[in-house]
């Protein structure tokens, strides 16, 4: 096979046992081999271009120095950025990242967890899908270290790094109301995931605080599997409401992108006809004719903290958990009519 050079080859060439070679190449174990011998072995290793087989090493020592990352979709910029940050941070600590996209599907998420766990990743960072509580419980039961990101299950104690989604939504909607909007709609995804529930709660409580009516007619939920048409239908429905619509809050960047395209096609003007606030950033938003007011998540910090928490958890014998809520930042531009 490839990568022929093994400890054995070096041992043979130098005329010692593989144990000697192993000791010599693991500098930590100073003193187990004489300096001359060590030098000779190291020279031969270099000469043969020896590269240790990590698979064999992992099998023996029980660690792989690999972290698993499960996100909803790498092709979504929010997750792609997280992936990049996690990758860099992991690398800085000597870990490699194996990743997979769950597509928000519990089944794919299960598959990924199994594949990664069977490959013995040392820990997992997961943006969990809907109805995946059993997976999280499984990980706890198996004592596989993990950290959740973006979403979490309030009923299951675990480590996580998330945004204060309630506050984010509250601030966003409050900002719209503050600027005179009275008919504020919200476009969300149809899911029980906590982050989405919190965003909806933030929206509703901001309306309540302003003594505006909180009904179902202005809070529309779209299914994941046909975002595009769902968004159109939802916007149509809101616009058709007898009292009209003068502002729209998008619960995610994907919803905003589809929503804005549709709004443009209807020739509605932002912010005159409709004020807009969206979640997350996106290169796209910078090019919209009316720069978007949006909620900014500290993506870099989220990724870094997640890795940090995971490594902490892995090194502590008791699976100590850490829970981090980041504060959202509302970036005010022109789309909210401020």
Site residues (CB under 7 A) for DNA? 1, 6-8, 15-20, 22-23, 25-26, 31-38, 52-53, 56-57, 59-62
The residue written with tokens 């010599």 in the block is 24
Residue identified by tokens 């529309």 is 220
Minimum CB distance to DNA, residue 192 (Å): 35
The single residue listed with the structure tokens 């605080």 is 209
Backbone angles phi, psi at 239, to 5 degrees: -65, -30
Q: DSSP secondary-structure letter at 159?
A: -
Among its own copies, DNA, none, the one that 298 touches (CB under a kind-dependent 5 to 8 A) is none
CA distance 193 to 149: 12
26 binds, among DNA, its own copies, none (CB under 5 to 8 A by kind): DNA
CA-based nearest residue to 292, from 244, 253, 238, 258: 253
Quick one: what does residue 237 bind among DNA, its own copies, none, with the CB cut-off 5 to 8 Å set by partner type?
A: none
CB of 120 to its own copies, least distance (A): 5
Query: Cα 116–117–119 angle (5° rounding)?
Result: 65
Q: How far is the CB of 210 from its own copies (least distance, A)?
A: 31
Nearer to its own copies, 21 or 257 (CB): 257
CA 19 vs CA 9, 15, 16: distances in Å: 12, 12, 8
Given DNA, its own copies, none, residue 18, with its beta carbon under 5 to 8 Å by kind, binds DNA
Enumerate binding residues for its own copies (CB under 8 A). 1-3, 51-56, 58-59, 62, 64, 66, 73-75, 77, 80-81, 83-84, 87-88, 91, 96-101, 114-120, 142-144, 257, 260-261, 282-289
């Amino acid at each position: 096979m490839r990568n022929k050079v093994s400890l054995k080859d070096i041992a043979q060439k130098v005329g010692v046992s593989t144990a000697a070679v192993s000791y010599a190449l693991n500098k930590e174990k100073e003193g187990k081999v004489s300096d001359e011998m060590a030098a000779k072995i190291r020279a031969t290793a270099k000469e043969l271009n020896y590269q240790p087989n990590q698979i064999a090493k992992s099998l023996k020592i029980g660690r792989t120095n690999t972290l698993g990352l499960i996100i909803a979709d790498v092709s979504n910029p929010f997750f792609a950025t997280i992936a990049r940050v996690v990758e860099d941070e992991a690398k800085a600590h000597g870990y490699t990242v194996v990743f997979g996209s769950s597509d928000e599907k519990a089944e794919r998420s299960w598959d990924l967890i199994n594949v990664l766990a069977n490959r013995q990743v040392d820990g997992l960072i997961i943006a969990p899908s809907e109805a995946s509580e059993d997976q999280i419980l499984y990980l706890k039961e198996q004592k596989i270290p993990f950290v959740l990101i973006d979403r979490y299950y309030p009923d299951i104690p675990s480590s996580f790094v998330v945004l204060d989604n309630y506050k984010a939504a509250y601030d966003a909607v409050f900002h719209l109301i503050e600027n005179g909007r009275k008919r504020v709609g919200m476009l969300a995804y149809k899911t029980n995931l906590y982050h989405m529930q919190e965003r909806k709660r933030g929206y509703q409580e901001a309306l309540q605080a302003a003594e505006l009516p909180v009904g179902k007619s202005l809070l529309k939920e779209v299914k994941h599997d046909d975002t595009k048409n769902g968004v159109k239908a939802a916007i149509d429905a809101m616009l058709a409401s007898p009292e009209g619509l003068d502002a729209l809050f998008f619960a995610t960047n994907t919803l905003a992108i589809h929503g804005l395209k549709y709004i443009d096609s209807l020739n509605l003007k932002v912010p005159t006809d409709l004020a807009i606030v969206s979640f997350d950033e996106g290169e796209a938003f910078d090019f919209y004719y009316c720069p978007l007011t949006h909620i900014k998540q500290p993506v870099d910090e989220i990724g870094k903290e997640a890795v940090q928490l995971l490594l902490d958890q892995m090194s502590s014998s008791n699976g100590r958990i850490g829970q981090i809520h980041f504060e959202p930042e509302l970036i005010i531009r022109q789309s909210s009519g401020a």
